[in-house]
Chains A and B, each alone.
Chain A
């Protein structure tokens, strides 16, 4: 029954062979669903701690355009964007490195009619499906806590999937260059500062000139801007630039990843 469900999940034609890999991961995670479900709790804990606990200390926030916003409503969309990033990065770095180096999964897969591009699209599709489930659950939590003030929030889920796409593509491309587990410290080194400084906990206007500019070019900042706009309903055409940035990052990452996989595994 579940196998049939995995086969029925609609995938774009271009993703073709990747769906077999999605099915494989689905069958695998069916056995460890507790680990799967628990991934949802971390951003909720952060939201409760910072968004509710620290919010008492911060009071209401006045944004640059003069609108007042409750601190929890300010932090929640940033947590949504960050958790989309974290999930995608985790899936596309640690998990893929393990499958590539230790489980030798892709060596076996490439012995079948599947090609490196199918591996890249399959793994990324899986990361996105998984991320979409977490994001949907998180948006429901935001709704229950009264942190959503616009119908634009309906677009928050696709936006979270787009953030996931950008980081899954980039993460997978980077993973093909990793030599050992030690190299993953560099992943931490880029993810953590982004999580802490990308206008997640306070507005980007807090930073002076050059640092602000540095924050604004980070990919997580693009995602935070998107999600915050959709949850508050403060939407403009400029958001397309942020969306385009993320789409380009993911596409480029996937292209590099499939090229590198071919090089590494089809020698």
Chain B
């Protein structure tokens, strides 16, 4: 255990050094795009939704309704982005993972370090976004700030299995499918923009399977002060299950791919 922590720390240190040189490139996708969505949907479209009467949303403004959803969606997008191309690059194009396991690091340490760095990216980006949301008046109660932890959890719950998936690929065309049939529909149909109860029944069930719905629901309930303890525990448990199973699969995938 102590070895795993120490080795994972060294791996994390590596990623942090890389990020110190490349962070500018992530500014637009991490902060600007979610902020633009918040402005276009929350404020622009929101004025029409609010004029139409807020009964469907339980009396909150549209901005307050979507803000926690956008926070969780942003976490998902950053996590998936960091678990796709960078991972395949380490395995296939730049092959830096091979150099890493030539040291005392084991494939599992490589996975833990990679996931720790993704957690860092999700946490820092979402923290800044949370500040922006607060300035726009998107949080209804201070407990909404706990949405940051929910965002971190959904980020890890999706990054781990996607990193595992990346180890099975030979080229990046699989990622196009992940984004088009995973990330985009999850973003659009996980209740971030409208309650999933409006969806046809069979799609509504798909939404409940998606980890993002659990994060959106929990983050929103925290912000609106409508938390139901048993449902919150279910949300957290479901996300944790994705994270743990994903990590296990990722360790297995890395080991198989790096040590043939």
Q: What residues make up the interface of A, taking CB atoms closer than 8 Å to B?
A: 32, 34-35, 38-39, 41-42, 45-46, 48-50, 53-54, 56-59, 61, 182, 185, 188-189, 192-193, 196-197, 201-202, 206
Contacts and interface: CB of A to CB of B under 8 A. Distances in A.
B193 A197 contact: no
16 contacts: A39-B180, A45-B185, A45-B188, A45-B189, A49-B188, A49-B194, A53-B189, A53-B194, A53-B199, A56-B194, A57-B62, A58-B49, A185-B28, A189-B28, A197-B40, A202-B44
Given A185-B25, A196-B37, A201-B40, A54 B184 contact: no
Given A46-B188, A57-B52, A196 B47 contact: no
A42 B49 contact: no
Contacts of A206: 44, 47
Interface of B: 25, 28-29, 32-33, 36-37, 39-41, 44-45, 47-49, 52, 56-57, 62, 173, 176-177, 180-181, 184-185, 188-189, 193-194, 198-199
Contact of B176 (A38, A46, A58): A38
Nearest to B50: A57
Contact of A61 (B32, B48, B56, B188): B48
Contacts of A46: 188
Given A59-B52, A185-B28, 18 more contacts: A35-B173, A35-B177, A39-B180, A49-B188, A50-B193, A53-B189, A53-B194, A54-B49, A58-B49, A185-B29, A192-B33, A192-B36, A196-B36, A196-B40, A196-B41, A201-B40, A202-B44, A202-B48
A212 to B, nearest CB: 12
A53 B180 contact: no
Contacts of B45: 54, 58, 201-202
Contacts of B52: 57-59
B152 to A, nearest CB: 25
A58 B48 contact: yes
A58 to B, nearest CB: 5
A193 B180 contact: no
A49 B48 contact: no
Contacts of A189: 28, 32
A49 B48 CA distance: 17
A115 to B, nearest CB: 32
Nearest to B36: A196
A61 B28 CA distance: 32
A201 B193 contact: no
A193 B44 contact: no
A15 to B, nearest CB: 29
Most chain B Cβ neighbours within 10 Å, of A48, A50, A57, A206 = A57
A149 B177 CA distance: 34
Interface SS of A by simple majority: helix
Nearest 6 interchain pairs by C-beta: A49-B188, A196-B40, A53-B194, A59-B52, A57-B49, A38-B180
Given A38-B180, A53-B199, A201 B41 contact: yes
Most chain B Cβ neighbours within 10 Å, of A54, A61, A197 = A54
A54 B189 CA distance: 11
A45 B181 CA distance: 10
Contacts of B185: 45
Most chain A Cβ neighbours within 10 Å, of B45, B56, B181 = B45
A189 B194 CA distance: 26
A204 B185 CA distance: 27
Contacts of B176: 35, 38
Most chain A Cβ neighbours within 10 Å, of B33, B48, B184 = B48
Nearest to B40: A196
Nearest to A47: B188
Nearest to A71: B48
Contacts of A58: 45, 48-49, 52
A57 B56 contact: yes
Given A38-B180, A57-B56, A197 B44 contact: yes
Contacts of B47: 202, 206
Nearest to B176: A35
Contacts of B56: 56-57
A46 to B, nearest CB: 6
A201 B177 CA distance: 26
Given A45-B185, A54-B193, A38 B177 contact: yes
A39 B47 CA distance: 32
Given A49-B193, A192-B36, A38 B181 contact: yes
B36 A193 contact: yes
Contacts of B181: 38, 41
B25 A182 contact: yes
Contacts of A45: 184-185, 188-189
B193 A53 contact: yes
A36 to B, nearest CB: 10
A71 B33 CA distance: 24
